[in-house]
Amino acid sequence: MLISIPKRKLQGHAMSLLASGILTLCISSSYASWVHPAALKGQQPSDTILVQKLVNTKKYKIKLYPNANHQVLFFNVNGDDGKVYQLFLFNVEGKLVKQVNIRNKETTVLNNIGKGNYLYEVFSEDERLENGQVIIR
């Protein structure tokens, strides 16, 4: 059983359940999902990729998203023609794990990324356009 609660309604009973450790919180860029551990019984654990944007720009349309099976990440930018956009993926220790360069309206695939927590930043011409977090379970 999956229960979705908007961020602005995270109060009262839901917060007390979270504090008591009964619920597990999965964060995405637009909502929080609460999953009761009993709902996971009998299910095979599957890989999950979560992307959370912390700072983004409205001038460029930057997409970092998993495929349907949560096996790879896609990176796409719609912005200014002729510009090169760079994605840097760091592990929690600050080590550069992946670096990808693409041009406007191109899409690239990021694969072979191990399970863990990562931070990402997107740059164009030494200007940071977006940053956030990627969690691979």
Q: From CA 25, how far away is CA 37, in angstroms rounded? A: 11
DSSP 7: G
**Average pLDDT per 10 consecutive residues for the chain, totaling 137 residues:** 44 39 36 40 60 81 89 91 94 94 93 92 93 93
> Tell me, which fold does domain 49-136 have in CATH?
Immunoglobulin-like (2.60.40)
Which pLDDT value is given to residue 46? 53
pTM, two decimals, is: 0.63
Which pLDDT value is given to residue 88? 97
pLDDT tens per residue, range 25-44: 333 333 333 444 444 444 44
Label residues 76-108 b or e (16+ Cβ within 10 Å = b).
Answer: bbebeeeeebbbbbbeeeeeebbeeebebeeee
Which pLDDT value is given to residue 75? 94
The residue extents of the domains of the chain are 2-40, 49-136
Which pLDDT value is given to residue 87? 96
Label residues 8-31 b or e (16+ Cβ within 10 Å = b).
Answer: eeeeeebeeeeeeeebeeeeeeee
